């Protein structure tokens, strides 16, 4: 496996740095702060020919189907999109999933957020939505290792991607060891003095933990 890391790009990095990192990344997740900074056109230019498995748009879509589809349409250079699951199926996620399938794009649903205040009151509801929509993957906070194990057990081979590593307090490699497929890492890489060196160090830490 090339890498277990998805770079959370919430701030621009230069094309040279991204080119240097592409072989050590599984994917790149782009956030609203980045797209608001650069605009759609420049974001597309920056990412267009990078050799990573997935470019994931993380706007945490949570709207009616029609609006979510129009957002996706404007970001057609990306391969994957993250939406909230709490919005429910009919008229929202069913339409988005159908549209993404028709355009060979992937859907990830937020299952468990990484911050302290995320409520588990809706867990059963969220799991039912995930079952009904059957996305490529789900987002489960890396700060909640028990949740990763629980969702891995409940959702078999569904891809689990986990934010919260490093800057939010979770230790690199712990999410993967608990059952996640990839760890989403932002500030610890893009704010580092040498982002490429930071990525290499993180990759090594994860690899070593997985091996032991
Ligand atoms: O904390 P970092 O800088 O490593 O960035 C984490 C990224 O993951 C960031 O883009 C944020 O929008 C996203 N994310 C969470 O932090 C927490 C979640 O529950 C879901 C996504």
- pLDDT band at residue 212 using 50, 70 and 90 as cut-offs: confident
* Cα–Cα distance, 113 to 129 (Å, whole number): 16
CA nearest to 54, candidates 85, 22, 98, 14? 22
| Residue 118 Cα: closest atom of ligand 1 | 19
pLDDT digits (tens, 9 = 90+) for 112-163: 999 999 999 999 999 999 999 999 999 999 999 999 999 999 999 899 999 9
- Residue 34: band (very low, low, confident or very high) from pLDDT cuts 50, 70, 90: very high
Q: What is the pLDDT of residues 51-76, one digit of tens each?
A: 999 999 999 999 999 999 999 999 99
Q: Is the predicted pLDDT of residue 1 greater than 90, yes or no?
A: no
Distance CA 51, CA 27 (A): 9
Using alpha carbons only, give the angle 134, 31, 101 rounded to the nearest 5 degrees: 30
Query: Residue 24 in contact with residue 32, Cβ under 8 Å?
Result: no
CA 46/CA 181 separation, integer angstroms = 26
CA distances from 77 to 103, 136, 144, 187 (A): 11, 18, 32, 24
Q: What is the pTM of this model?
A: 0.98
**Which residues lie with the beta carbon below 6 Å from any ligand 1 atom?**
8, 10, 31, 58, 113-114, 139, 141, 163-164, 166-168, 184-188
E-strand spans in 22-78? 27-31, 54-61
Q: Which ligand 1 atom is the nearest neighbour of the CA of 139?
A: 20
Sign of CA dihedral 205, 206, 207, 212: positive
Q: What is the mean pLDDT of residues 169-187?
A: 98
Q: How many CA atoms lie within 13 A of 23 on its CB side?
A: 3
Output the CA 30–ligand 1 centroid distance in Å: 10
How much is the pLDDT for 59? 98
How far apart, in whole angstroms, are the C-alpha atoms of residue 75 and residue 77?
Answer: 5
Beta-sheet pairing, 106-112 with 137-140: parallel
Q: 96 CA distance to ligand 1 centroid (A)? A: 22
Do the interacting molecules here have an ipTM over 0.95?
Answer: yes
Catalytic residues: 60
β-sheet bridge partners, residue 29: 8, 56
Q: Are the beta carbons of 133 and 100 closer than 8 angstroms?
A: no
Q: Select from 151, 164, 189 the residue to mutate for testing ligand 1; criterion: most ligand atoms less than 8 Å from CB.
A: 164
């Amino acid at each position: 496996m090339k890498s277990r890391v998805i770079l959370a790009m919430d701030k621009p990095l230069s094309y040279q740095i991204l080119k240097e990192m592409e072989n050590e990344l599984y994917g790149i997740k782009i956030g609203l702060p980045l797209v608001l900074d650069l605009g759609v056109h420049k974001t597309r230019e920056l990412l267009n020919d990078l050799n990573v498995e997935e470019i994931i748009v993380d706007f945490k879509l949570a709207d009616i189907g029609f609006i979510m589809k129009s957002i996706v349409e404007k970001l057609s250079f990306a391969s994957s999109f993250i939406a909230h699951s709490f919005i429910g199926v009919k008229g929202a996620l069913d339409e988005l999933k159908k549209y993404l399938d028709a355009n060979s794009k992937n859907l990830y649903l937020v299952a468990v957020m990484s911050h302290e205040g995320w409520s588990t009151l809706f867990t059963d509801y969220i799991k039912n939505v995930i079952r009904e929509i059957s996305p490529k993957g789900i987002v489960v906070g890396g700060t909640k290792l028990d949740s990763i194990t629980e969702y891995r057990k409940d959702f078999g081979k569904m891809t689990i991607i986990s934010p919260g590593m490093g800057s939010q307090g979770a230790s690199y490699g712990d999410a993967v060891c608990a059952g996640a497929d990839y760890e989403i890492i932002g500030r610890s890489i893009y704010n580092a003095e040498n982002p490429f060196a930071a990525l290499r160090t993180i990759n090594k830490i994860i690899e070593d933990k997985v091996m032991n």
